[in-house]
């Protein structure tokens, strides 16, 4: 099975995707063997600091809103700024990232976010904050995060050789998981001493550090050789459709995406774990906190073990195994009757989910031509995010219909997830696991030592 798949109408063929943009030559490929470890290390370190800033904002922004208003809608919107950003600008962001220099997108978004949070800190220090101002800045920062995260996928592909992608993604995910634990904890300490606004200043500084790391590390990938006119909306729509056509033309991408969409729909029920702990099991607030915190431990373990497990059993086998494990963990929540069992299930769920997400991301970076990686990434992420609220509604409605008992919902969702993993395996992931794609190596026919930007490359 070809890893790159047939070229979609209007797109460059697989062998030419390295240096052709859908609207003409845009990038000149770097010579093989130029991906160096030191700039890559600087790059990853800077992005790890940036992710810590994201972790600070997760709690700092809602707390600022809560200080000014008890409006639950305003509070919910402040906590979901990035999700709202993906649903609003996610798809256009993919098109624009593919039409621009993604490295410059990262630099610009870091600069804008540093200014936004520095401005928010200044308004807070002057006592000039309003709920609408906070929401406006939060949504602007959320939109910047969408562009940044989309471009980051492309730049990581540029910075690291294909065989090192899973490890690079694991480092970034480890930083993300640590930020989700440490960020709110730091903000909580600042809130206790009445200095939440300092988290905003710290957030601005993290984006400045990220920007500096980008400048020091350099692009690490293709440099701009020639730019075409941006074109109009019609051309942008054509490019977007071309990206979608490419996504659906590669069987392994279709299977991985379809499986993950169904899984995300079912995993939305995990949001009921607090309700289950408090209402069904009658756990104390402290015990419930331990149950919730266990997910952070599991996520960190997943990021730490992903590269080693992928090298041991292969990436495709790992993603299927991880999805099945997530299903079993969710089902275990349905039979858990003590805090340790529920916490263990939550940790296992987070561990498996991080493993599956990392492999999915890495496979897309290898399989998708660089010229359309932004579009494919944005489409997939919007799909994943769009099904989450639907899953929450289904899980909540089903729990209410069952008299407020979420355990049957956990059991059912877990079974569906395991069946979905098995179906994806039988439908083609098993065959992919037996081939080069299963280990994350280039497709048959690509030459070792070359960087074929259609998604495969030689061993580093």
> For residues 299 and 51, is the Cβ–Cβ distance under 8 A?
no
Look at the block and give the residue holding tokens 């991408």: 253
d(CA 443, CA 435): 8
Last residue of one domain, picked from the residues 230, 256, 283: 230
Q: Is residue 238 part of a domain?
A: no
Closest to 187 measured CA to CA, from 54, 73, 282: 54
Predicted pLDDT at 208: 94
Helix (H) or strand (E) holding 27: strand 27-28
Residues 142 and 250 in one domain: no
Residues 165 and 211 in one domain: yes
> For residues 428 and 255, is the Cβ–Cβ distance under 8 A?
yes
- The number of residues making up the chain comes to 460
Closest to 47 measured CA to CA, from 111, 110, 122, 140: 110
d(CA 437, CA 366): 9
Neighbour-count burial for 264-275, b at 16+ CB within 10 Å, e otherwise: bbbbbbbebbee
- Give the rounded distance of the alpha carbon of 396 from its chain centre: 25
How many CA atoms does the CB half-sphere of 166 hold within 13 Å? 28
d(CA 276, CA 413): 15
- Identify the domain containing residue 458 by its residue range: 244-460
Number of compact structural domains in the chain: 2
Q: Is residue 346 part of a domain?
A: yes
Residues 291 and 201 in one domain: no
Q: Give every residue of the chain whose pLDDT is below 50, as ranges.
A: 1-34, 36, 224-229, 440-460
Q: Is residue 154 part of a domain?
A: yes
Last residue of one domain, picked from the residues 170, 197, 230: 230
Residues 183 and 299 in one domain: no
Q: Is residue 15 part of a domain?
A: no
Q: Is residue 455 part of a domain?
A: yes
**β-strand partners of 27:** 224
Residues 315 and 359 in one domain: yes
Predicted pLDDT at 301: 96
d(CA 355, CA 348): 11
CB atoms within 10 A of CB 341: 15
Residues 320 and 454 in one domain: yes
CB atoms within 10 A of CB 13: 12
Please name the residues in contact with 283: beta carbons below 8 A apart, sequence gap of 6 or more: 277, 291, 339, 342
Q: Is residue 8 part of a domain?
A: no
Residues 253 and 205 in one domain: no
What's the predicted TM-score (pTM) here?
0.81
CB atoms within 10 A of CB 132: 11
Residues 51 and 76 in one domain: yes
d(CA 81, CA 71): 16
Residues 222 and 263 in one domain: no
Q: Is residue 7 part of a domain?
A: no
Predicted pLDDT at 219: 65
Residues 340 and 394 in one domain: yes
Residue 442 sits at the vertex; the CA angle it makes with 6 and 354, to the nearest 5 degrees, is 95
Residues 343 and 261 in one domain: yes
Predicted pLDDT at 39: 63
Here the tokens at position 446 are 């690509």
Residues 181 and 41 in one domain: yes
Assign residue 208 the CATH number of its domain: 1.20.1250.20
Neighbour-count burial for 103-115, b at 16+ CB within 10 Å, e otherwise: bebbbbbbbbbbe
Last residue of one domain, picked from the residues 208, 230, 252: 230
Here the tokens at position 1 are 């099975």
Q: Is residue 236 part of a domain?
A: no
Instruction: Quick: pLDDT tens for 354-401.
Output: 999 999 999 999 999 999 999 999 999 999 988 988 998 999 999 999
């Amino acid at each position: 099975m070809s890893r790159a798949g047939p070229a979609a109408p209007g797109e460059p063929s697989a062998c030419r995707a390295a240096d052709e943009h859908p609207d003409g030559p845009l990038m000149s490929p770097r010579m093989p063997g130029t991906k160096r470890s030191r700039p890559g290390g600087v790059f990853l370190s800077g992005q790890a600091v940036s992710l810590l800033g994201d972790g600070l904002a997760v709690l700092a922004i809602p707390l600022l809103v809560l200080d000014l208003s008890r409006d639950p809608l305003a509070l919910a919107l402040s906590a979901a700024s990035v999700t709202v950003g993906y649903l609003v600008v996610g798809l256009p962001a993919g098109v624009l990232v593919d039409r621009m220099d993604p490295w410059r997108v990262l630099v610009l978004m870091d600069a804008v976010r540093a200014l936004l949070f520095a401005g928010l800190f200044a308004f807070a220090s002057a006592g000039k904050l309003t709920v609408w101002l906070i929401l406006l800045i939060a949504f602007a920062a959320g939109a910047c995060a969408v562009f940044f995260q989309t471009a980051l996928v492309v730049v990581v592909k540029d910075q690291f050789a294909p065989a090192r992608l899973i490890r690079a993604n694991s480092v970034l995910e480890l930083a993300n998981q640590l930020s989700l634990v440490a960020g709110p904890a730091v903000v909580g300490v600042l809130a206790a001493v009445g200095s939440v606004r300092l988290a905003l200043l710290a957030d601005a500084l993290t984006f400045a550090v990220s920007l500096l790391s980008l400048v020091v590390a350099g692009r690490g990938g293709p440099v701009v050789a020639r730019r075409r006119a941006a074109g109009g909306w019609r051309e942008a729509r054509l490019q977007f459709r071309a990206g979608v056509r490419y996504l659906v033309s590669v069987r392994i991408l279709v299977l991985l995406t379809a499986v993950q969409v169904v899984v995300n729909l079912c995993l939305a029920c995990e949001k009921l774990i607090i309700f289950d702990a408090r209402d069904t099991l009658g756990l104390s607030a402290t015990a419930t906190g331990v149950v919730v915190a266990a997910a952070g431990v599991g996520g960190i373990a997943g990021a730490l073990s992903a590269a080693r497990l992928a090298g041991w059993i292969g990436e495709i086998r790992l993603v299927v195994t991880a999805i099945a494990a997530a299903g079993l963990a969710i089902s275990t929540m349905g039979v858990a009757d003590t805090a340790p069992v529920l916490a263990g299930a939550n940790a296992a769920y987070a561990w498996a989910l991080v493993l599956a997400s990392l492999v999915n991301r890495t496979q897309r970076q290898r399989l998708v031509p660089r010229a359309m990686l932004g579009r494919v990434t944005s489409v997939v992420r919007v799909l994943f995010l769009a099904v989450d609220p639907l899953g929450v509604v289904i899980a909540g409605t089903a729990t209410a219909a069952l008299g407020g008992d979420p355990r049957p919902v956990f059991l059912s969702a877990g079974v569906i997830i395991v069946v979905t993993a098995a179906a994806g395996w039988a439908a083609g992931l098993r065959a992919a696991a037996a081939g080069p794609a299963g280990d994350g190596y280039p497709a048959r026919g690509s030459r070792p030592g070359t960087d074929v930007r259609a998604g495969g490359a030689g061993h580093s």
